[in-house]
Amino acid sequence: MMVLEAVGLALLFLGLFCANVGALGLVRFPDVFIRSHAATVMSMGGAVVSIFAVALMGGAHNPSFFVKACLTALIVIFTSPTGSHAILRAAHKSRVKMWEGTFCDMLREDEEKDG
């Protein structure tokens, strides 16, 4: 049981690090398209890793808690990228200005090819 708690604590610190790096990226990155990467780091690295850590630490005492926490993490894993994609696609269709250092817009290139 001591090993699970140590691994869980290490995962919690990793999740804390990812959440802090993502928050810093949200402040420092220049546009919505690049900031979405930081938001994804926060949700996937910060939230999911922390949920798995809590699942390991709490699951040692209550197996149903472990299952519920893992299901919660899986829901976040599947919905976070989908939500980010939908938001960024809407931002691109709304012609949100990109950072002037952006050198490749593959979605615009695909739209130009299609019509």
Would you list the DSSP string of the chain? Answer: -HHHHHHHHHHHHHHHHHHHHHHHHHHH-SSHHHHHHHHHIIIIIIIIHHHHHHHHHHHTT-HHHHHHHHHHHHHHHHHHHHHHHHHHHHHHHTTPPPPTT----HHHHHHHHH-
- pLDDT on residue 107: 66
Overall domain count for the chain: 1
Structural domain range at position 50: 2-114
- pLDDT on residue 104: 74
Which pTM was predicted?
A: 0.79
- pLDDT on residue 2: 86
Cβ neighbours of residue 77 closer than 8 Å, sequence gap 6 or more: 44, 48
Rounded to an integer, what distance in angstroms lies between the CA atom of residue 70 and that of residue 2? 20
- pLDDT on residue 111: 66
- pLDDT digits (tens), the chain, 115 positions: 688 889 999 999 999 999 999 999 999 999 888 899 899 989 899 999 999 999 999 887 888 999 999 999 999 999 998 999 899 889 888 888 888 887 777 667 666 666 6
